[in-house]
A and B are shown apart, each in its own frame.
Chain A
Amino acid sequence: MRTVAVVGASLAGLSAARSLRAQGYDGRLVVIGEEFHRPYDRPPLSKEFLAGTLGEADLGLETDDEDLGAEWLLGARAVGLDARDRAVRLADGRELRADGVVIATGAAARTLPGSAGLAGVHTLRTLDDARALRDELARGGRLVVIGGGFIGAEVASTARALGLDVTVVEAAPTPLAGPLGETMGALVSALHADHGVRLLCGVGVKGLGGEKRVDAVLLEDGRTVPADIVVVGVGARPCVEWLAGSGVDLDNGVKCGADGRTSLAGVVAVGDCANWYDPRAGLHRRVEHWTGARERPGAAVTTLLAGGAVEPGVPRPPYFWSDQYGIKIQFAGHAAGADSVTIEEGAAEDRNVLAVYRRSGRPVAVLGMNQPRLFTRLRKQLAA
């Protein structure tokens, strides 16, 4: 293998490039990134960076003395993959032929239909998004967050601490019920009311009010919520349109084996765009977690360098964290499929709990609120 192209220059792409070098690949390495920025860390974008306590230099993922010996094509968008000679086509017409391709193009924030061109309406995915939102939040006013998921909740928390008047609108009856289940989703979402943020649940958004600039969020039940700033946090879609017609199987992102292989030889996929097979569950799961983007490229690169002849290890249970209103929320495993959830340490009213999810008596997931020590112990046991 003489040329490897890593398409995507965020955490998954950088981790793949690092894994290639760490696993002995010494050929040409080209990293292609749509954004102009060097790889940076996204989790602080909704928290410390938005709050102004972390600067852009703090977000960089590379260390000062790091040199992967890679060619970086930044500000270069991949628009196609030719399966025959594994050529990656770029938007500017360039074409890069490679012996191996790592697809790490991530996901993009979903938007609200009809919100394009309306000032004051934001999504939050990239550094540029975060800069724009940070500048607007600094002016204060009324913020309405559409979507009570983790991004929405973190933005609400940060904006509240900055002194804004904040409302969160969630279409489902309970926010976070998908990742955390009903009971714990309700408990974590109660943090909003604790800190003076209004939470409106079970109501969809009909549209946005305002001519050039947003001035309200219109709800399906007829209510109108006045707004100076709106953040749309309604999830992300995998960035795989560029692979249409390439022969790479697509199904909720890039359909992958348990080792990151795709339907094309010499092509693997990692990170938010990759829908890996989970051998424990017997199904494919597209996991949009930071830890997956860091850990999985190692296995995918092993697959790529070995030509696909590897036995994949059993991955660690997925882990993610969220910081809201000064509380450290941590979750590992899969809440779906649990038949019970019990608080084993702390108390719900103190917002300080360790909760274990079980199926047929066996732990399948764990949630911590300000319980990092016990949480890590249980997370380790889940992996055993």
Chain B
Amino acid sequence: MIPACRLADLPRGEAFRLDIDPPVSVFHTDDGEVFAIDDTCTHQDASLADGWLEGCEVECPLHASKFDLRTGAVDAPPAKLPVRTHEVVLEDGMIYVRVSTDAPNLPPCVASRLAGGPA
């Protein structure tokens, strides 16, 4: 489990970006729920923590793809692949993320960079 931030430091409607590789975003919804998903949009290199959070959905800040925070599913194109979701554990006011062992769906440009190829 990786500590992210204190719940008290993450207001509702805000996101926290955990700088691991690949990065993970923790979202605190307006309804008070906390979700963690891969931070990188599956369409192109953009940080979903910078996106538009509405209900249980985040819209990519660049090309407006939408993802369901609960399932990672694509709710609106141009993205076609879901983002990975991660388990969130709250302990003593601290948010922890248990990172999924599934393979991430990174966009082509990021995936090739991580693989050591040209960006």
Chain A residues within CB distance 8 Å of chain B: 11, 41, 43, 53-54, 58, 60-64, 290-291, 294, 319, 321, 328, 330, 372-373, 375-376, 379-380
- Contact call B77/A321, Cβ cutoff below 8 A: no
Residues of B within 8 A of A290 (CB): 63-64
Known: A63-B74, A294-B76, A321-B63. A372 touches B46 (CB 8 A): yes
Which A-B residue pairs are the 6 nearest by beta carbons?
A373-B50, A372-B61, A376-B61, A63-B80, A372-B50, A41-B78
Q: How far is the CA of A58 from the CA of B50 in the complex (A)?
A: 24
**B72 at the A/B interface (Cβ < 8 Å)?**
no
Task: List, sorted by A's number, 14 A–B pairs whose CB atoms are closer than 8 Å.
Answer: A11-B77, A43-B78, A63-B74, A64-B80, A291-B64, A294-B77, A321-B62, A321-B63, A330-B61, A330-B62, A373-B47, A373-B50, A373-B61, A376-B61
Q: How far is the CA of A330 from the CA of B61 in the complex (A)?
A: 9
* Interface residues contributed by chain B, number (CB under 8 Å): 16
- Contact call B108/A58, Cβ cutoff below 8 A: yes
Residues of A within 8 A of B46 (CB): 372
Q: How far is the CA of A279 from the CA of B78 in the complex (A)?
A: 28
Chain A nearest CB from B55 CB (Å) reads: 13
Chain B nearest CB from A41 CB (Å) reads: 5
- Contact call B80/A60, Cβ cutoff below 8 A: yes
**B109 at the A/B interface (Cβ < 8 Å)?**
yes
Q: How far is the CA of A11 from the CA of B64 in the complex (A)?
A: 13
Residues of B within 8 A of A63 (CB): 74, 80
Residue from B63, B74, B78 having most chain A Cβ neighbours under 10 A: B78
Chain A nearest CB from B88 CB (Å) reads: 22
Chain B nearest CB from A49 CB (Å) reads: 12
Residues of B within 8 A of A62 (CB): 80
Known: A58-B108, A372-B46, A379-B52. A319 touches B61 (CB 8 A): no
- Contact call A294/B64, Cβ cutoff below 8 A: yes
Chain B nearest CB from A151 CB (Å) reads: 17
Q: How far is the CA of A58 from the CA of B111 in the complex (A)?
A: 14
Query: Which residue of B is nearest A64, CB measured?
Result: B80
Residue from B46, B61, B63 having most chain A Cβ neighbours under 10 A: B61
Chain B nearest CB from A59 CB (Å) reads: 9
- Contact call A319/B64, Cβ cutoff below 8 A: yes
Q: How far is the CA of A319 from the CA of B76 in the complex (A)?
A: 15
Residues of B within 8 A of A376 (CB): 50-52, 61
Q: How far is the CA of A64 from the CA of B105 in the complex (A)?
A: 15
Interface residues of B in 55-89 (CB under 8 A from A): 61-64, 74, 76-78, 80
Interface residues of B in 12-67 (CB under 8 A from A): 46-47, 50-52, 61-64
Which of B62, B108, B109 makes the CB contact (< 8 A) with A328? Answer: B62
Residues of A within 8 A of B64 (CB): 290-291, 294, 319
